[in-house]
């Protein structure tokens, strides 16, 4: 049974202290250290003067905490429950991560804590543009969008819409602020939502879902893409962004999404290797056979050479589930208009998003 603690150090601790104790720094994540000895593992995360340590052996964890307290003036805060706006709750299933207090603080700041909740974060088929009268308080707009971006740490269901409103920070309009208010009313409707992480006795596979629209931005004709990456049944990475260049076809747009997603997948594989966490071969879930063919077959097209030159990547990952109805694909919540999709089974598929233990999920 894994254990964890939250410690507070009186001053900053450098990696020079942890290395002699057998800890190795994780290259992919600064100030993250791993101790591995036979079957025993300790993970240590350092943030300023706070430390989170977790281990698969409670006695080993207590021993290291005592050693740390001997060297430094530390305060043991017990089991991890709150850290940087994230709330951690142990359940019978695993670990539930949410941002309930943080979400309430956002609503209070926006004076929407008593507002009427709404079941979708965006109007179906709505595409925001730069046209329209300027919003009177751009500082408020930027502040609210900024805190919403941090809320997406546990709310992948709003990643797409938050990315959409964040593209107008330089000159927000009244329509943009109305879109932000709608997101906040949706947050009010899903206050108790968060992510559940389930333990697994056997190594899980890294499963990737990705998609992209084509020329979806009315102002720039650039495409938006998104991806989910699961480790077993646990969602570990997600993103929704507008592509930096214009694609000349839907296939090119999706292939660019594939390239970016593969970069994140490579980073995760190296991270899991450093964490001594075993996993099975990665699986990609594509939308179209054209993208799958470009990824799996020996198709020579100069237009897509950037994928191989940029990533130096061989076509070794298998592509799974080439044909799926888009309404059943959870990753479509990122790159498609989310209004109708939020009512489909993809919202809570594979533990994507659930209400806190003991709380009922809102009805759509």
Final residue of a domain: which of 165, 189, 213?
A: 189
Is 128 in the same domain as 249?
A: no
User: Does residue 356 form part of some domain?
Assistant: no
Write down the pLDDT at residue 15.
59
> Contact, 87 vs 356, CB < 8 A?
no
- Residue 134 is given by DSSP the state B
Is 140 in the same domain as 237?
A: no
User: Does residue 325 form part of some domain?
Assistant: yes
Is 141 in the same domain as 234?
A: no
Is 207 in the same domain as 303?
A: yes
User: Does residue 267 form part of some domain?
Assistant: yes
User: Does residue 90 form part of some domain?
Assistant: no
CA atoms 345, 113, 125, 320: torsion sign: negative
Write down the pLDDT at residue 307.
56
Domain count, the chain: 3
CA distance 161 to 166: 9
User: Does residue 364 form part of some domain?
Assistant: no
Write down the pLDDT at residue 233.
87
Distance set, CA 11 to CA 25, 35, 74, 78 (Å): 19, 22, 9, 19
CA distance 7 to 15: 16
Is 15 in the same domain as 111?
A: no
Is 222 in the same domain as 325?
A: yes
Final residue of a domain: which of 148, 166, 189?
A: 189
Is 304 in the same domain as 217?
A: yes
Is 208 in the same domain as 320?
A: yes
Is 103 in the same domain as 134?
A: yes
Is 118 in the same domain as 69?
A: no
Residue 76's domain comprises: 3-80
Write down the pLDDT at residue 174.
96
User: Does residue 195 form part of some domain?
Assistant: no
Write down the pLDDT at residue 92.
86
Phi, psi of 81 (to 5 degrees): -135, -30
Final residue of a domain: which of 189, 211, 237?
A: 189
User: Does residue 358 form part of some domain?
Assistant: no
Tens place of pLDDT for every residue, the chain, 364 residues? 345 555 554 334 555 677 777 888 887 777 888 988 888 999 988 887 788 899 988 899 988 888 888 877 788 888 889 998 999 998 888 899 999 999 999 999 999 999 999 999 988 777 899 999 999 999 999 999 999 999 999 999 899 999 999 999 999 999 999 999 999 999 999 999 999 998 887 778 888 888 888 888 888 899 988 888 999 889 999 999 999 889 888 878 888 888 888 889 888 988 988 888 887 776 766 556 666 666 556 555 554 565 555 544 544 454 444 434 343 444 444 444 433 333 333 344 455 566 666 665 554 4
Local structure of 109: helix, strand or coil: helix
Write down the pLDDT at residue 190.
92
Is 119 in the same domain as 165?
A: yes
User: Does residue 91 form part of some domain?
Assistant: no
Write down the pLDDT at residue 299.
55
CATH code of the domain containing 8: 3.30.70
CATH code of the domain containing 322: 3.30.420.10
Is 207 in the same domain as 240?
A: yes
């Amino acid at each position: 049974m894994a254990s964890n603690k939250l410690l507070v150090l009186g001053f900053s601790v450098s990696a020079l202290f942890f290395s002699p104790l057998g800890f190795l720094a994780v290259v992919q994540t600064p100030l993250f250290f791993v101790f591995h000895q036979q079957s025993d593992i300790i993970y240590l995360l350092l943030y300023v003067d706070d430390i989170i340590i977790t281990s698969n052996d409670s006695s080993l964890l207590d021993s290291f905490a005592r050693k740390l307290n001997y060297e430094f003036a530390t305060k043991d805060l017990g089991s991890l429950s709150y850290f940087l706006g994230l709330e951690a709750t142990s359940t019978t299933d695993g670990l539930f991560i949410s941002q309930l207090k943080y979400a309430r603080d956002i609503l209070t700041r926006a004076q929407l804590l008593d507002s009427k909740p709404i079941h979708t974060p965006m109007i179906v088929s709505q595409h925001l543009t730069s046209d329209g009268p300027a919003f009177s308080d751009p500082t408020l707009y930027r502040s609210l969008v900024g805190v919403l971006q941090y809320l997406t740490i546990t709310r992948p269901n709003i990643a797409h819409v938050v990315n959409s409103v964040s593209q107008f920070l330089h000159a927000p309009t009244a329509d943009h602020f109305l879109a932000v208010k709608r997101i906040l009313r949706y947050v009010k409707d899903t206050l108790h939502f968060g992510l559940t992480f389930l333990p697994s006795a056997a190594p899980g596979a890294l499963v990737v879902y990705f998609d992209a629209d084509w020329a979806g931005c009315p102002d720039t004709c650039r495409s938006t893409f998104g991806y989910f990456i699961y480790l077993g049944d646990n969602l570990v990475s997600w993103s929704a962004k507008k592509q930096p260049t214009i694609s000349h076809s839907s296939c090119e747009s999706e292939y660019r999404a594939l390239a970016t997603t593969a970069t994140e997948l490579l980073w995760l594989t190296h991270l899991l290797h450093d964490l001594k966490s075993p996993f099975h071969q990665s699986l990609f879930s594509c939308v179209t056979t054209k993208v799958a063919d470009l990824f799996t077959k020996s198709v020579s097209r100069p237009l897509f050479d950037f994928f191989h030159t940029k990533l130096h990547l061989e076509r070794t990952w298998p592509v799974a589930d080439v044909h799926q109805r888009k309404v059943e694909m959870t990753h479509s919540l990122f790159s498609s208009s989310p209004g109708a999709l939020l009512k489909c089974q993809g919202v809570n598929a594979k533990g994507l998003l659930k209400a806190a233990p003991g709380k009922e999920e809102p009805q759509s």
